Amino acid sequence: MATQPRPEAKSPPVSPRLPRRSARSPRKRADEVIEAAAAVFAQRGYHGATTQDIADRLHIRQASLYYYFSSKEDALESICQRGVEGFIEHASAAARAPGTACERLSLVIGSHLRATSEKHDFVRVFLSERQHLSDAARRRIGRLSARYEAIIQGIFEAGVASGELRGDLHCRLATLALLALCNSAAAWYGREPGVDLETIASNFSELLCAGVVSEAARATGPAAKRRTRRLA
> Do 99 and 171 meet the contact criterion of CB atoms below 8 Å apart?
no
> Do 49 and 41 meet the contact criterion of CB atoms below 8 Å apart?
yes
Summarize pLDDT for 108-135 with one digit per residue, the tens. 999 999 998 899 999 999 999 999 999 9
Show Cβ contacts of residue 216 under 8 Å, excluding neighbours closer than 6 positions. Answer: 163
Q: What is the C-alpha separation between 36 and 57, in angstroms, rounded?
A: 7
Give the percent of the chain with pLDDT over 70. 84
Average pLDDT across the chain, whole number: 85
Q: What is the C-alpha separation between 106 and 88, in angstroms, rounded?
A: 15
Asked if the model's pLDDT at residue 7 lies above 90, the reply is no
Q: What is the C-alpha separation between 123 and 139, in angstroms, rounded?
A: 18
Q: What is the C-alpha separation between 21 and 42, in angstroms, rounded?
A: 33
Asked if the model's pLDDT at residue 218 lies above 90, the reply is no
Dump the DSSP string for 116-171: HHHTHHHHHHHHHHGGGS-HHHHHHHHHHHHHHHHHHHHHHHHHHHHTSB-TT--H
Q: What is the C-alpha separation between 135 and 49, in angstroms, rounded?
A: 21
> Do 97 and 103 meet the contact criterion of CB atoms below 8 Å apart?
yes
The reported pTM is: 0.77
> Do 148 and 84 meet the contact criterion of CB atoms below 8 Å apart?
yes
What pLDDT shows up at residue 188?
87
Q: Which amino acid is at 143?
A: R
* 213 DSSP 8-state letter: B
* 194 DSSP 8-state letter: T
> Do 143 and 149 meet the contact criterion of CB atoms below 8 Å apart?
no
Summarize pLDDT for 76-107 with one digit per residue, the tens. 999 999 988 889 999 999 999 999 999 999 99
> Do 214 and 166 meet the contact criterion of CB atoms below 8 Å apart?
yes
Q: What is the C-alpha separation between 38 and 34, in angstroms, rounded?
A: 6
